[in-house]
Amino acid sequence: MTTKTIISADRLSKSFGAVKALQDISFEVAEGEIFGFIGPDGAGKTTLFRIITTLMLPDEGKVTVLGLDCVKGFRELRKNIGYMPGRFSLYMDLTVEENLNFYATVFGTTVKENYDLIADIYSHIEPFRKRPAGKLSGGMKQKLALSCALIHKPALLVLDEPTTGVDAVSRAEFWEMLKKLRKHNITILVSTPYMDEAMQCDRVALIQEGKILSVDQPGKITAGFSRKLFSIKAPEKYQLITALREFPLVNTAYPFGDSVHVTFRDDVYDDSLIGFLEAKGVSGVIIAETRAGIEDRFLELMEKK
Amino acid sequence: MKRLLVFVKKEFLHIFRDFRTMVILFLIPGALILLFGFVVSTDLKNATVSFLDLSKDEMTQKLSDKICSSGFFKRGENLKSFQDIDPALRGNKIKAVIIFEKDFSAKLISEGKATVNIITDGSEPNMATMATNYISAIVADFNSELAGGGKAAALRVQPEVRMFYNPSLKSQHMFVPGVITLIMILICALMTSITITREKEFGTMEALLVSPLKPIQIILGKIVPYFILSLVDVIIILLLSRYVFDLPVKGSVVLLLAEAMLYILMSLSLGILISTVSKTMQQAIFISLVGMMLPTVLLSGFIYPIENMPKAYDWVSAIMPPRYFIIIIKNVMIKGTGFLYVWKETLILTLFTLGAIGLSMRKFNIRLQ
């Protein structure tokens, strides 16, 4: 199957004064993909998206989006990109309906024309169409912003941290909606600071301090985790971590939900650990081997750097 | 075109839904004009004066009648002795006490002079000086009447002063042009710069920039609503000054409105220019207030006459567009002159407008900084 390349970035760099926001970023996104950028705040995700959406110029390197150069072809490109910035870019004093109609007209279309595209999403908020956007909940704002970004049937949808500040149920719903958009052949570029959301993407790029650590399918990224991983639990989590990091045979110890993910030197688990922890005052310890997630791989890649 | 219309409609919705914007747009202009017209009025009108008449003859009766019929003063209670003066003034109801000495007319006839004492409340210096000046003027007038009616009709040249353009020295005449100038800068520059920076702050500018909207459409969409509303404001102010202060536009109303439109356009483009250099609303407000309103108040000739300024300030004021608009509006509104008398100022204002539009178009960023 030959697929079209929608985004092709080649050695992108961008600095703000002394801060290097992006360093030598290269990647490609194929048509119809949900491509995720995963990384902590300040990793450079927003800067990268702004360059792709023609809002910023790269210092070095070149991006081609939908066959157009981001710098020279920005006028043509702006007609075909749907962009949802991190702050939902809605007019809080306008109603749901007014926001949608405004964006539709600005992009030279009508709500009617592309209603089928947003029907799934918009139907959730349609009962509140007379309500000012500012009075909607976070999840509803997100759905409205997505409807506004989609209303002109863009070939590429760019979503900058769409799930930040939204409750867990809405987040899950949101990913379901994105997956349904695939049947309309819309390519989606999405960023998130939540590692668990990486599994929802077709491919992800791990990004940290302006550099891409790895690009692959989420399953392959976790498979790249090279060591044996143990999940260790104890009632006193903070003491547990401090004690673990003092144990000479421990390689890494990172908090993960209610447990601590630990790797050992040479991947050898030594029973003397329990005694060591008890001596440090940590009791009730449960140890089990576990499978690595995206976050573990992310941390491993960071360690290697 | 349809995009522009929907943008303009959106701007109108922002304006009409925001209480504070509505207050700034419609309440403040009216309030300012009434405030300057009534409260800050430097006119003397029906100030109460009391008389301590120690001779009570025909002459003192005539003179006090003359003072009280001038329209500037009205008669307060008559005092009986010197002891009454202090409490009367302290009571704050009267602005001045006029004392006629004993045997006023007898002295006037026999010695050719008699004394009137004027005592004013010095805690209100402006009022006090004005009252003294007005009363002195009336007394002088009274003197000349006496001389004219008297037998010693020696020919004397009487200087006659007449104030042109503002014969009754109404201070509103000076304030209406100033207030219009000030309000236009306030609404146009301040409000447009705020609405654009607000879009930047709320992130909606990002969405607008990614859209196929051209900068000119965004700028026009911001300008058109404020242009219309500012013009409505000018008309409200002119109506207020016509019907509340009895100050009609002496010259052509059409010319006045056309000049106002030019000035509004210039202020709006200044507002756009401000928004292109400021990232936040606070910055925009600061630049508008300090950079626009203060110079308008201080350097445009609105409060302090330019002729009285040191030369350096005069030069600074020469690059203040409001200065020229004030000249235009004073000419058209108060003197009633036509376009021929203000074409130079109009030309300068036009150049400012073109410059501001050109600069703001060039500086308007099609990308984020």
Q: Is B211 on the interface with A (CB under 8 A)?
A: yes
Distance from CA of A48 to the nearest CA of B (A): 13
Angle at B72 between CA B67 and CA B74, to 5 degrees: 65
List, for residues A63-91, the tens digit of each pLDDT value: 999 999 988 888 899 989 999 988 878 99
Q: Is A49 on the interface with B (CB under 8 A)?
A: no
Two structure tokens written together for B322: 């409001």
Contact B255, B338 (CB under 8 A): yes
Q: Which residues of B touch A79 (CB under 8 A)?
A: 212
Does A223 reside within a domain? no
Determine whether the interchain pair A107/B207 forms a contact, defined as Cβ–Cβ distance below 8 Å.
no
Which 143-182 residues of chain B touch chain A by CB within 8 A?
A: none
Determine whether the interchain pair A93/B14 forms a contact, defined as Cβ–Cβ distance below 8 Å.
yes
Q: Which contiguous run of DSSP H or E holds residue A286?
A: strand A286-290
Q: Smallest Cα–Cα separation from B3: which of A294, A55, A272, A104?
A: A104
Determine whether the interchain pair A89/B7 forms a contact, defined as Cβ–Cβ distance below 8 Å.
no
Q: Which residues of A touch B210 (CB under 8 A)?
A: 53-55, 78, 81, 83
**CB nearest to A79's CB, from B18, B204, B212:** B212
Give the three-class secondary structure for A268. coil
List, for residues A90-148, the tens digit of each pLDDT value: 999 999 999 999 999 999 899 999 998 898 889 989 999 999 999 998 889 999 999 99
d(CA B241, CA B231): 15
**CB nearest to B202's CB, from A54, A87, A103:** A87
Q: Is B212 on the interface with A (CB under 8 A)?
A: yes
Looking at chain B, the whole-number percentage of residues with pLDDT higher than 90 is 14
Give the three-class secondary structure for A81. strand
Q: What is the mean pLDDT of chain A?
A: 89
In this predicted structure, the answer to whether residue B51 has a pLDDT above a threshold of 80 is yes
- Strand-pair partners of A117: none
Burial class from Cβ neighbours inside 10 Å (0-12, 13-18, 19+) for residue A177 reads middle
Q: Which residues of A touch B3 (CB under 8 A)?
A: 105-106, 108
In this predicted structure, the answer to whether residue B164 has a pLDDT above a threshold of 70 is no
Residue of A nearest to B15 (CA): A93
Q: Which residues of B touch A106 (CB under 8 A)?
A: 3, 6-7, 208, 211-213
**In this structure, are A202 and A249 located in the same domain?**
no
Cα–Cα distance list, B287 to A111, B198, B220, B281 (Å): 40, 15, 22, 10
Contact A60, A44 (CB under 8 A): no
Confidence of residue A29 (pLDDT cuts 50, 70, 90): very high
d(CA A172, CA A102): 28
Is the four-CA dihedral B347, B353, B356, B359 of positive or negative sign? negative
Determine whether the interchain pair A89/B366 forms a contact, defined as Cβ–Cβ distance below 8 Å.
no
State residue B41's pLDDT score.
54
Find the Cα–Cα–Cα–Cα dihedral B143, B145, B148, B150, rounded to 10°: -70
Q: Smallest Cα–Cα separation from B366: which of B191, B144, B209?
A: B209
- Strand-pair partners of B48: B74
> Nearest 5°: phi and psi at B98?
-115, 125
List, for residues B233-275, the tens digit of each pLDDT value: 999 888 888 888 777 888 889 999 999 999 999 999 999 999 9
- For chain B, domain boundaries: 2-40+170-363, 47-149
- Strand-pair partners of A252: A263
State residue A269's pLDDT score.
81
Confidence of residue B173 (pLDDT cuts 50, 70, 90): low
d(CA B144, CA B317): 45
Q: Which residues of A touch B14 (CB under 8 A)?
A: 91, 93-94
State residue B40's pLDDT score.
56
State residue A103's pLDDT score.
93
H helices of chain A, in order, are 45-52, 74-77, 96-106, 115-125, 138-150, 168-181, 218-223, 237-246, 272-279, 294-304
d(CA A232, CA A47): 37
Q: Is A46 on the interface with B (CB under 8 A)?
A: no
Pick from B201, B210, B369 the residue to mutate for testing the A interface (most A CBs within 10 Å): B210
Contact A101, A130 (CB under 8 A): no
CB atoms within 10 A of CB B102: 12
List, for residues B269-317, the tens digit of each pLDDT value: 999 999 988 888 899 989 888 888 888 878 777 766 676 677 887 788 8
Stretch A273-292: mean pLDDT: 86
In this predicted structure, the answer to whether residue B153 has a pLDDT above a threshold of 60 is no
State residue B323's pLDDT score.
86
Q: Is A130 on the interface with B (CB under 8 A)?
A: no
**In this structure, are A234 and A129 located in the same domain?**
no
Determine whether the interchain pair A54/B367 forms a contact, defined as Cβ–Cβ distance below 8 Å.
yes
Give the three-class secondary structure for A217. coil
> Nearest 5°: phi and psi at A235?
-60, -40
Q: Is B14 on the interface with A (CB under 8 A)?
A: yes
Among A217, A246, A271, the domain-final residue is A217
Q: Is B367 on the interface with A (CB under 8 A)?
A: yes
Contact B327, B259 (CB under 8 A): no
Stretch B118-132: mean pLDDT: 72
List, for residues A171-228, the tens digit of each pLDDT value: 888 999 999 888 888 999 999 988 888 889 999 999 989 899 889 898 888 888 888 8
Among A217, A240, A268, the domain-final residue is A217
pTM: 0.76
Determine whether the interchain pair B17/A105 forms a contact, defined as Cβ–Cβ distance below 8 Å.
no
Is the four-CA dihedral B36, B37, B39, B44 of positive or negative sign? positive
Contact B321, B266 (CB under 8 A): yes
- Strand-pair partners of B309: none
State residue A280's pLDDT score.
85
Confidence of residue A47 (pLDDT cuts 50, 70, 90): very high
Does A212 reside within a domain? yes
Strand order in A259-264's β-sheet?
Answer: A250-256, A259-264, A229-233, A286-290
Q: What is the mean pLDDT of chain B?
A: 81
**In this structure, are A190 and A103 located in the same domain?**
yes
Q: Which contiguous run of DSSP H or E holds residue B46?
A: none
CB atoms within 10 A of CB B355: 15
Burial class from Cβ neighbours inside 10 Å (0-12, 13-18, 19+) for residue A248 reads exposed
d(CA B301, CA A111): 54
The CATH number of whichever domain residue A181 belongs to comes to 3.40.50.300
Tell me which residue range forms the domain holding A283.
229-304
Q: Which residues of B touch A88 (CB under 8 A)?
A: 203
Task: Look up residue A73 and give its amino acid.
Answer: G
Which 140-159 residues of chain A touch chain B by CB within 8 A?
A: 148-149
CATH number of the domain located at residue range(s) B47-149 in this protein:
3.40.1710.10
What ipTM goes with this model?
Answer: 0.81
Two structure tokens written together for A139: 């999840």
Q: Is B340 on the interface with A (CB under 8 A)?
A: no
In this predicted structure, the answer to whether residue B205 has a pLDDT above a threshold of 80 is yes
> Nearest 5°: phi and psi at B150?
-75, 170
Determine whether the interchain pair A91/B204 forms a contact, defined as Cβ–Cβ distance below 8 Å.
yes
d(CA B321, CA B307): 17
Residue of A nearest to B218 (CA): A106
Q: Which residues of A touch B206 (CB under 8 A)?
A: 50, 55, 83, 85, 89
Residue of A nearest to B16 (CA): A93
Among A182, A217, A252, the domain-final residue is A217
List, for residues A156-168, the tens digit of each pLDDT value: 999 999 988 888 8
**In this structure, are A160 and A29 located in the same domain?**
yes
Give the three-class secondary structure for B203. coil
Q: Which residues of B touch A75 (CB under 8 A)?
A: 212
**CB nearest to B6's CB, from A88, A90, A105:** A105
Cα–Cα distance list, A236 to A242, A277, B352 (Å): 10, 11, 71
State residue A283's pLDDT score.
82
Task: Look up residue B14 and give its amino acid.
Answer: H
Cα–Cα distance list, B122 to A75, A265, B41, B303 (Å): 71, 94, 18, 24
Does A222 reside within a domain? no
What is the C-alpha radius of gyration for chain B, rounded to an integer number of angstroms? 28
**In this structure, are A161 and A237 located in the same domain?**
no
**CB nearest to A55's CB, from B14, B17, B209:** B209
What is the C-alpha radius of gyration for chain A, rounded to an integer number of angstroms? 22
**In this structure, are A27 and A104 located in the same domain?**
yes
Contact A150, A111 (CB under 8 A): no
Two structure tokens written together for A157: 């949808």
**In this structure, are A287 and A138 located in the same domain?**
no
**In this structure, are A248 and A118 located in the same domain?**
no
Q: How far apart are the first and last CA of chain B?
A: 28
**In this structure, are A297 and A171 located in the same domain?**
no
Give the three-class secondary structure for A86. coil
Determine whether the interchain pair A106/B14 forms a contact, defined as Cβ–Cβ distance below 8 Å.
no
**In this structure, are A149 and A269 located in the same domain?**
no
Residues 6+ apart with CB under 8 A from A142: A88, A162, A163, A166, A170, A174
- Of the two residues B147 and B237, the one the predictor is more confident about is B237
Q: Which contiguous run of DSSP H or E holds residue A280?
A: none
Fill in the DSSP letter of residue B317: H
The CATH number of whichever domain residue A300 belongs to comes to 3.30.70.100
Determine whether the interchain pair B202/A103 forms a contact, defined as Cβ–Cβ distance below 8 Å.
no
> Nearest 5°: phi and psi at A247?
-70, 125
Tally of domains within chain A: 2
Determine whether the interchain pair A53/B210 forms a contact, defined as Cβ–Cβ distance below 8 Å.
yes
**CB nearest to B203's CB, from A54, A87, A149:** A87
Distance from CA of A65 to the nearest CA of B (A): 14
Find the Cα–Cα–Cα–Cα dihedral A24, A29, A35, A39, rounded to 10°: 0
Q: Which residues of A touch B10 (CB under 8 A)?
A: 91, 94, 98, 102
d(CA A106, CA A119): 20
